[in-house]
């Protein structure tokens, strides 16, 4: 498909004798389509050419030679050159590309041969999968799919929190109170209660913390009984998580958690020592980061146990060796910003500077209710993510029974819409903002929600179903879809690839969410303003193919976010 920005940049470069690659980055999309489809701000050249922007614009317009079948006119507005695309040409380019690539429309190979390692979800085992894990799972899952769409080899790592002092707490609690809890039916729930009880009691009895440290030290030292209990807790937790991952359609390439690196950390500690980075501090071993404006990075605690940073450094070295990554992304909440700054800085000091530059923490906000309160408990317990997902499905099922009780496959459709609503709500705004969790908002079929996008997609399927066919692209007369509303859709379709690239560059799935809302609303405007099924076969074929293209891209975009599209609602 023709790259119009590059065509414009090439024409401008020839008229002013400047670098085409630099100029292409200056080209903008005007906020108002009446000011053109693309705009070039001549202010950017004023200093270099030593002329006023309006004069530069006038000179470029007089000299520029550009294919009129692509750009039908150029106008000057102040210091801007405004370019108007030939509507028929763009319609042909876009819809022919849709015909050629189908669901791959918009995909590119810019990442071919490059590995992107994405560390996401990563719950702590021996605890239920609560709503706090939703954001990392959904954001990371979307980035995994977006990078893959752009030709990268995405590597999804569920870096399980399956090591650390919390296991000392659980194991000590099991030893002390196992006869007080039912460990045969709701086992994971009982274990959570033991953990919560231990955490409360250790505030009043500091000796409890010492017992937990001793229990974890036994685990680190390879005690057979401790390892047996740990393996049981890990398998139990994974089986519990898998139900939620199945609902979210989340998959991973590796479940190597912190424990995987238990026998590999000594090598990294020795490396830090050999490179003169390890220092003694109050019984602990640290890397001093004071000159970089950060507190020390603890490697070995005063109790002789490893810590998160030790395991993260070890896992990073392992990922460098295994994947030689172009990027390593850590989808973890805002509160861990300092931790990752420290780990990446230590990696750089160890001599892995090039890889340290490729590491990035992808932070995100909290899940809050409509009053801005953190959603963390319900009746004193964590809000389980599986319960939230099932509740969403049940609420959608009730809506279906009320509005369309005869609908076939109600359970399957309710699952796709309910889970899709949760996913889209999470990804609808910048990840750095807190996610507002409001049932009325996220299940709204008319607002800027997942169900609305699914509803518009189903409408495209319905129109094609009524027509009984998808036109052959060779039968489409592109001059029949040059109305303002149709052209708005075509421009949006044309920009899909750029939108996916922007989402990857900023590691921001909400860029795709926003795009899908714009595309759905644009099609809704067109649908409400024009009859797609008409007596004029040429008009109908053109409008039907445009409808098919919209449905195709809505589905592809939604799947990049992790949503599934129902075929009817």
Query: Looking at the predicted structure, is the pLDDT value of residue 277 above 70?
Result: yes
Residue 475 token pair? 């039968």
Q: What is the mean pLDDT of residues 272-276?
A: 96
Rounded to an integer, the average pLDDT of 494-502 is 97
Whole-number percent of the chain with pLDDT over 70: 99
Which two tokens mark 420? 């899709």
Residue 445 — very low, low, confident or very high, per pLDDT cuts 50/70/90?
A: confident
CA–CA separation, 193 and 446 (whole Å):
41
pLDDT in tens, 123-142: 988 777 888 789 999 999 99
pLDDT recorded at residue 195? 87
Q: What is the mean pLDDT of residues 519-532?
A: 97
Q: Which of 135, 7, 123 is nearest to 72 (CA)?
A: 7
Mean pLDDT of the chain: 92
At residue 303 the predicted structure's pLDDT band, cuts being 50, 70 and 90, is: confident
Measure the N-to-C terminal CA separation of the chain; round to a whole number of Å: 34
At 44 the pLDDT is 86
Residues β-bridged to residue 362: 331
- Closest by CA to 506, choosing from 362, 407, 370, is 362
pLDDT of 60 > 60? The answer is yes
Is residue 127 part of the annotated active site? The answer reads yes
- 5, 44, 92, 127: the catalytic one is 127
Q: CB of 385 within 8 A of CB of 134?
A: yes
**Looking at the predicted structure, is the pLDDT value of residue 341 above 90?**
yes
HEC per residue, 423-455: HHHHHCCCCCCCEEECHHHHCCCCCCCHHHHHH
Task: Report whether pLDDT(380) > 50.
Answer: no
Judged against a pLDDT cut of 80, whether residue 373 lies above it is answered with no
Measured CA angle at 237 (ends 233, 241), to 5 deg = 175
* 44, 92, 130, 480: the active-site residue: 130
Rank 10-19, 164-173, 307-316 by mean pLDDT and report only the highest.
Answer: 307-316
Domains, the chain: 4-85 (3.30.1360.70), 115-367 (3.40.50.620)
The stretch 446-468 carries a mean pLDDT of: 95
CB 172 within 8 A of CB 133: no
The per-residue pLDDT for 531 is 96
With a CB cutoff of 8 Å and minimum separation 6, the contacts of 288 are 279, 296
> Under a CB-based contact definition with an 8 Å cutoff, are residues 229 and 171 in contact?
yes
Per-residue pLDDT tens over the stretch 168-177 = 999 999 999 9
Q: Which of 133, 145, 169, 480 is catalytic?
A: 133
List the beta strands (DSSP E) in 136-268: 153-157
- Asked whether residue 398 carries a pLDDT value surpassing 50, the answer given is yes
Of 15, 20, 10, 14, give the one whose Cα is nearest residue 63.
Answer: 15
For range 52-71, the mean pLDDT: 91
169 belongs to the catalytic site: no
Q: CA-CA distance, 13 to 4, in Å (whole number)?
A: 14
Cβ neighbours for 268, distance < 8 A, ≥ 6 positions apart:
310, 313, 314, 317
The band of 382, judged by pLDDT with boundaries at 50, 70 and 90, is low
pLDDT surpasses 70 at 517: yes
Whether the CB-CB separation of 154 and 214 falls below 8 Å is answered with no
Residue 173 makes CB contacts below 8 A (sequence gap 6+) with 194, 195, 197, 198
Distance CA 48, CA 450 (A): 47
Active site residue 102: no
For range 323-345, the mean pLDDT:
97
The pLDDT assigned to 371 comes to 73
Mean pLDDT within 387-406 = 92
pLDDT tens per residue across span 155-210: 999 999 898 788 899 999 999 998 899 888 878 888 888 988 998 999 899 899 99
pLDDT of 342 strictly over 90: yes
Q: Which pLDDT does position 379 carry in this prediction?
A: 38
Which pairs count as long-range contacts for 101-104, CB under 8 Å and 24+ apart, including other chains? 102/552, 103/552, 103/555, 103/556, 104/556
Higher pLDDT, 299 or 240: 299
Output the pLDDT for position 376: 57
Residue 336's pLDDT is what? Answer: 94
Percent residues over pLDDT 90 in the chain? 73
187 SS3 class: helix
Q: Say yes or no to pLDDT of 442 above 90.
A: no
Report pLDDT for 377. Answer: 43
How confident is residue 378, by pLDDT bands cut at 50, 70 and 90?
very low
Q: 526 pLDDT exceeds 90?
A: yes
């Amino acid at each position: 498909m023709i790259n119009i920005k590059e065509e414009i940049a090439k024409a401008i470069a020839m008229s002013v004798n400047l670098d085409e690659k630099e100029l292409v980055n200056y080209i903008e999309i005007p906020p108002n389509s009446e000011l053109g489809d693309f705009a070039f701000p001549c202010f950017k050249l004023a200093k270099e050419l030593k002329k006023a922007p309006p004069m530069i614009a006038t000179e470029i317009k007089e000299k520029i030679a550009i294919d009129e079948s692509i750009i039908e006119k150029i106008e000057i507005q102040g210091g801007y050159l405004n370019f108007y695309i030939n509507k028929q040409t763009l319609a042909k380019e876009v819809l022919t590309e849709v015909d050629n690539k189908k669901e791959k429309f918009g995909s590119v190979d810019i990442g071919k041969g490059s590995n992107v390692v994405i560390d996401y979800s990563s719950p702590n085992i021996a605890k239920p999968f609560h709503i706090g894990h939703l954001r990392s799972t959904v954001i990371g899952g979307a980035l995994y799919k977006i990078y893959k769409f752009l030709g990268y080899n995405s590597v999804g790592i569920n870096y399980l929190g399956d090591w650390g002092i919390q296991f000392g707490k659980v194991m000590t609690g099991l030893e002390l109170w196992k006869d007080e809890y039912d460990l045969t039916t709701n086992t994971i729930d009982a274990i959570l209660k033991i953990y919560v009880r231990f955490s409360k009691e250790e505030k009043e009895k500091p000796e409890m913390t010492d017992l937990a440290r001793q229990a974890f030290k036994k685990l680190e030292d390879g005690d057979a009984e401790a390892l047996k209990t740990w393996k049981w807790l890990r398998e139990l937790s994974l089986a519990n998580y898998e139900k939620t991952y199945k609902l979210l359609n989340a998959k991973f390439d590796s479940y190597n958690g912190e424990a995987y690196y238990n026998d590999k950390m000594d090598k990294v500690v020795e490396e830090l020592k050999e490179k003169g980075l390890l220092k003694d501090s109050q019984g602990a071993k640290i890397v001093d980061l004071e000159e970089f404006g950060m507190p020390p990075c603890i490697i070995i605690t005063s109790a002789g146990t490893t810590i998160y940073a030790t395991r993260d450094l070890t896992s990073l070295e392992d990922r460098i060796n295994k994947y030689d990554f172009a990027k390593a992304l850590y989808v973890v909440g805002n509160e861990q910003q300092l931790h990752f700054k420290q780990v990446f800085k230590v990696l750089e000091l160890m001599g892995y500077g090039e890889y340290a530059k490729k590491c990035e923490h992808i932070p995100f906000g909290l899940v809050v209710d409509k009053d801005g309160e953190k959603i963390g408990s319900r009746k004193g317990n964590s809000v389980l993510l599986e319960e939230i997902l099932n509740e969403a499905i049940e609420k959608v099922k009730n809506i279906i029974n009320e509005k369309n009780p005869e609908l076939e496959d109600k359970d399957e459709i309710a699952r796709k819409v309910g889970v899709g609503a949760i996913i889209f709500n999470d990804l609808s705004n910048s990840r750095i903002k807190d996610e507002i969790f409001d049932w009325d908002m996220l299940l709204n079929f008319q607002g800027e929600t997942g169900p609305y996008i699914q509803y518009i997609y189903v409408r495209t399927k319905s129109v094609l179903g009524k027509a009984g066919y998808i036109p052959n692209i060779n039968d489409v007369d592109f001059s029949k879809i040059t109305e303002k509303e149709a052209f708005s859709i075509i421009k949006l379709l044309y920009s899909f690839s750029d939108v996916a690239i922007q989402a990857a560059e900023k590691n921001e799935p909400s860029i795709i969410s926003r795009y899908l809302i714009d595309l759905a609303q644009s099609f809704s405007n067109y649908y409400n303003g024009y009859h797609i099924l008409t007596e004029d076969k040429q008009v109908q074929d053109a409008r039907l193919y445009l409808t098919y293209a919209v449905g195709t891209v809505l589905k592809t975009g939604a799947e990049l976010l992790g949503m599934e599209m129902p075929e009817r609602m």
